[in-house]
Amino acid sequence: MNLQAIETVVRRLFADADFRAAALADPSKALEEYRLAADERAAITKLCLQMAGGAGVLERRLTVLGCWW
Protein backbone atom coordinates (compact mmCIF):
# COMPACT_ATOMS: atom_id res chain seq x y z
CA MET A 1 0.00 0.00 0.00
CA ASN A 2 1.32 3.39 -0.98
CA LEU A 3 0.06 5.62 1.81
CA GLN A 4 2.15 8.56 0.64
CA ALA A 5 0.52 8.53 -2.81
CA ILE A 6 -2.95 8.18 -1.30
CA GLU A 7 -2.31 11.09 1.05
CA THR A 8 -0.97 13.19 -1.82
CA VAL A 9 -4.05 12.53 -3.96
CA VAL A 10 -6.53 13.21 -1.16
CA ARG A 11 -4.78 16.43 -0.17
CA ARG A 12 -4.72 17.51 -3.81
CA LEU A 13 -8.44 16.74 -4.19
CA PHE A 14 -9.23 19.18 -1.43
CA ALA A 15 -6.61 21.84 -2.20
CA ASP A 16 -6.46 22.00 -6.02
CA ALA A 17 -9.75 23.02 -7.62
CA ASP A 18 -8.62 22.18 -11.17
CA PHE A 19 -7.45 18.69 -10.16
CA ARG A 20 -10.67 18.15 -8.18
CA ALA A 21 -12.78 19.11 -11.21
CA ALA A 22 -10.76 16.77 -13.43
CA ALA A 23 -11.02 13.95 -10.89
CA LEU A 24 -14.75 14.40 -10.51
CA ALA A 25 -15.22 14.42 -14.28
CA ASP A 26 -12.98 11.41 -14.98
CA PRO A 27 -11.30 9.82 -11.95
CA SER A 28 -9.40 7.23 -14.00
CA LYS A 29 -7.75 9.83 -16.18
CA ALA A 30 -6.95 12.19 -13.30
CA LEU A 31 -5.31 9.39 -11.29
CA GLU A 32 -3.12 8.12 -14.15
CA GLU A 33 -0.08 10.05 -12.93
CA TYR A 34 -0.09 8.27 -9.56
CA ARG A 35 1.26 4.79 -8.94
CA LEU A 36 -1.69 3.23 -7.16
CA ALA A 37 -2.69 -0.39 -6.69
CA ALA A 38 -6.10 -1.38 -8.03
CA ASP A 39 -7.73 -1.28 -4.59
CA GLU A 40 -6.21 2.15 -3.85
CA ARG A 41 -7.42 3.50 -7.19
CA ALA A 42 -10.90 2.07 -6.51
CA ALA A 43 -11.04 3.71 -3.07
CA ILE A 44 -10.03 7.12 -4.41
CA THR A 45 -12.44 6.76 -7.34
CA LYS A 46 -15.17 6.00 -4.80
CA LEU A 47 -14.24 9.18 -2.91
CA CYS A 48 -14.40 11.19 -6.15
CA LEU A 49 -17.82 9.79 -6.98
CA GLN A 50 -19.09 10.58 -3.48
CA MET A 51 -17.79 14.13 -3.82
CA ALA A 52 -19.50 14.44 -7.20
CA GLY A 53 -22.99 13.50 -6.25
CA GLY A 54 -23.56 11.53 -3.12
CA ALA A 55 -24.58 7.95 -2.51
CA GLY A 56 -27.22 7.67 -5.26
CA VAL A 57 -24.76 8.61 -7.98
CA LEU A 58 -22.13 6.41 -6.39
CA GLU A 59 -24.37 3.35 -6.36
CA ARG A 60 -25.39 3.82 -10.01
CA ARG A 61 -21.80 4.38 -11.20
CA LEU A 62 -20.37 1.43 -9.27
CA THR A 63 -23.09 -0.84 -10.59
CA VAL A 64 -22.10 0.18 -14.10
CA LEU A 65 -18.43 -0.35 -13.25
CA GLY A 66 -19.29 -3.77 -11.82
CA CYS A 67 -17.96 -3.25 -8.33
CA TRP A 68 -19.24 -2.45 -4.90
CA TRP A 69 -18.00 -2.72 -1.35
What's residue 32's pLDDT? 92
pLDDT-derived band at 58 (thresholds 50, 70, 90) equals: very low
Mean pLDDT of 6-25: 89
- Mean pLDDT lowest for which of 26-30, 53-57, 59-63? 59-63
Confidence check: pLDDT of 25 > 90: no
d(CA 13, CA 17): 7
- Prediction pTM value: 0.66
d(CA 47, CA 44): 5
